[in-house]
Amino acid sequence: MSEEMEIDLDDLTRRMDGAIAALRTEFASLRTGRASASMLEPVQVDAYGQMTPINQVGTVNVPEPRMVTINVWDKSLVGKVEKAIRESGLGINPQLNGTIIMLPIPELNEERRRELTRVAAQYAEHARVAIRNLRRDGMDQIKKAKAAGMSEDEQKLWSEEIQELTDSYIARVDQALEDKQGEIMTV
């Protein structure tokens, strides 16, 4: 194979790894009835004139399985942090204790668990679509290489390799979804 006819599988692999990492981040934000500091990652606080992640205005701790605490460093931001949590859609009611905000994590009911599994399935489908788009990019590289003189045998080999890579990443998404749904449905 000549050098200009190489298909960049490393780049495709790196980008597919990115899709898996994004999926894991989205899964981490789903509340499973257990306290987790990562559930607050999407929450932004209006601090000092700009939107700031909660972990940059205070220390986030998980002292017990159903409690998250935030020790806000600047006393003037306590109200803004509380407001950001209330408006975040997490369904958690913050309780104030000086500069410490306590977030008791309520038990999930069956209906909410089913709803969360559907949301997890949507996140997984977005990841699958991203991986399929990357597969299409790889196939486009093969078409360009064909125009540059790649043999049909080489095209077939590269196509099979890209398809195997895609299948393995789709399987990883499916496994991650299965694990997350199991975690959500565990009482």
- Tokens found for residue 14: 């790196």
Provide the CATH number for the domain around residue 160. 1.10.132.20
Q: Count the alpha carbons within 13 Å of 154 in the hemisphere toward its beta carbon.
A: 18
Q: Cβ–Cβ contacts within 10 Å for residue 167, how many?
A: 12
Select from 104, 122, 157 the last residue of a domain: 104
Both 10 and 47 in a single domain? no
Both 48 and 61 in a single domain? yes
| Higher pLDDT among residues 135 and 29, named by residue | 135
What mean pLDDT is predicted for residues 25-41? 76
Q: Cβ–Cβ contacts within 10 Å for residue 79, how many?
A: 12
In angstroms, the CA 70 to CA 90 distance is 15
pLDDT tens string 154-178 = 999 999 999 999 999 999 999 999 9
| pLDDT score, position 1 | 40
pLDDT of 70 higher than 50: yes
Query: φ and ψ at 60, to 5 degrees?
Result: -100, 125
Both 172 and 129 in a single domain? yes
Q: What angle do CA 65, 38, 170 make, to 5 degrees?
A: 110
pLDDT of 88 higher than 80: no
pLDDT band with cut points at 50, 70 and 90 for residue 187? low
Kindly report the pTM of this predicted structure: 0.67
The Cα-based distances of 187 to 1, 37, 140, 174 in angstroms read: 56, 20, 46, 22
Both 140 and 79 in a single domain? no
pLDDT band with cut points at 50, 70 and 90 for residue 55? confident
pLDDT of 152 higher than 80: yes
Mean pLDDT of the chain: 87
In angstroms, the CA 38 to CA 29 distance is 6
Both 114 and 151 in a single domain? yes
Both 126 and 172 in a single domain? yes
Q: Where are the beta strands (DSSP E) in 55-139?
A: 58-64, 67-72, 95-97, 100-104
Helices (DSSP H) in 7-109: which residue ranges?
9-28, 78-86
Both 150 and 180 in a single domain? yes
pLDDT of 3 higher than 80: no
| pLDDT score, position 32 | 67
| pLDDT score, position 4 | 44
- Tokens found for residue 17: 């790894």
First to last CA, the chain: 56
Q: What is the CA radius of gyration of the chain?
A: 22
Both 20 and 44 in a single domain? no
Q: Cβ–Cβ contacts within 10 Å for residue 87, how many?
A: 9
Number of compact structural domains in the chain? 2
| pLDDT score, position 8 | 85
pLDDT band with cut points at 50, 70 and 90 for residue 16? very high
| pLDDT score, position 31 | 66
- Tokens found for residue 146: 């064909």
